[in-house]
Amino acid sequence: MLPEGPRPPLSATLRDQPTERRQSRLSPDPCAACGHDVNVMLRTPYVLYMRCNRCLAMWTVSKPGYEREFGT
């Protein structure tokens, strides 16, 4: 028995998922110390850890829509 030939691709969409999730993405500001570009080093569900490419300063930025008050 010979294997079947290639099948045509399926046209499908995911339900209840936004088609473009980058529209609410945070655009990072340049480094406050030296004005150079920054990289996102780590992502958590609520916070981005940023690092400057030149002076290696690190800081955190809350994700858009997830600004939370911590405390008791």
The pLDDT of residue 51 is 92
Q: Is it the case that residue 68 has pLDDT exceeding 80?
A: no
Vertex 27 angle, CA 23 and 33, to 5°: 175
CB 40 within 8 A of CB 50: yes
Query: pLDDT tens-digit profile of 5-25?
Result: 888 888 877 666 555 666 666
Q: What is the mean pLDDT of the chain?
A: 78
Report the predicted TM-score, pTM, of the whole model to 2 decimal places. Answer: 0.55
- Secondary structure in 3-state letters for the chain: CCCCCCCCCCCCCCCCCCCCHHHHCCCCCCCCCCCCCEEEEEECCCEEEEEECCCCCEEEEECCCCCCCCCC
| pLDDT tens column, 35-52 | 888 988 888 888 889 999
